[in-house]
Copies of this chain bind each other. A is one copy, B any other.
Amino acid sequence: MKESDLIAAIRSRVTDPSGVIGIGDDCCVWTPSGQTCLSVDTIVEGRHFRASDEPGLVGRKAAGAALSDLAAMGARPIGAVVALSCPARWDGLAVMDGLIAELRRHGCALLGGDTTGSEALVISVTVWGERASARFLTRSGAAAGDLLVVTGPLGGSLRSGRHLRPQPRFAEGQWLADQPYVRAMMDLSDGLAADAPKLAEASGCGCLLLPQDVPVHPDVPEMADGAKAACCDGEDFELLAAVSAEQWPHLQLAWPFPRQLARVGWLLDRPGTFMEDRQGRVVPMTWTGFEHA
């Protein structure tokens, strides 16, 4: 499909929100209602998905992974633009259909983009959003002694293909951002073992993970080391939050969602990453998270 035909087809599939200039000009234009947050996320053929994956699912993953960054701030999505670098052997329109459907599912408007040819499929999605509550929740507001909690079971995402269907946790993220005793948040893309230290460091802390307490996703095979898979597999797109420890019982009681909210570690007043081993001893963390090729 020619680039101009692809753009025309994409354009015919989207409706601009009122008062907004969408696809077709040099820029899109909208009027933000206040503080705005924005993120870009890229997926690359052979690294984040396979040449044999279904185009619609690849598009869905590109959108879902980007939206997850908005959910991790407690934001609600507003708009998106897509940079699609697409070889002729990929059905670019099918990719975009999956992508647009995923954006729409979360109330996010596709407002523009850029298409180029390439040797491998590369999709960069820029998304932006606004506050759904009193504040955006960053990675840096936590303190030593806070509990680390996750919004669902982890592990097995790449093996099972679940990574192609990320579920941005918007409702949970917005609710958590509304609780004053939740102090920091991020989404899990590289595995708890890699991501928890990032939140800890941004808050000037170290962390102690409790692998035996991490809920293991049913996608992790029974024969595998479940705790290690849950900490290291990556691409879960659940939220990781830091909670003032004495408010943890209150948070558990107030939590209005069917998903499990699980305690998976502590923030420490010293740098470094530690874990509790099977015998309950605190040892330096030796596991690493998932690193994309």
Contact = CB atoms under 8 A, between A and B. Distances in A.
A196 to B, nearest CB: 14
A26 B241 CA distance: 13
A114 B38 CA distance: 12
Contact of A117 (B82, B136, B293): B293
Contacts of A70: 26-27
B29 A116 contact: no
A73 B29 contact: yes
A41 B124 contact: no
Given A42-B83, A85-B44, A21 B138 contact: yes
A100 interface: no
Copies held by the complex: 2
A292 interface: yes
Contacts of A27: 37-39, 69-70, 72-73, 75, 128-129, 136
Contacts of A41: 83, 114
Interface string A31-61: 1101111111111101110000000000000
A32 B130 CA distance: 11
A144 to B, nearest CB: 20
A186 B119 CA distance: 29
Give the size category of A's interface with B. 35 or more
A239 to B, nearest CB: 10
B81 A140 contact: no
Contact of A44 (B73, B116, B291): B116
A113 B40 contact: yes
A31 B35 contact: yes
Contacts of A35: 29-31
Interface string A2-43: 010000000000000000010011111111101111111111
A117 B44 contact: yes
A118 interface: yes
A101 interface: no
Interface in A112-162: 112-114, 116-120, 122, 124, 126, 128-129, 136, 138-140
7 contacts: A25-B139, A27-B129, A30-B36, A32-B32, A36-B36, A42-B85, A46-B119
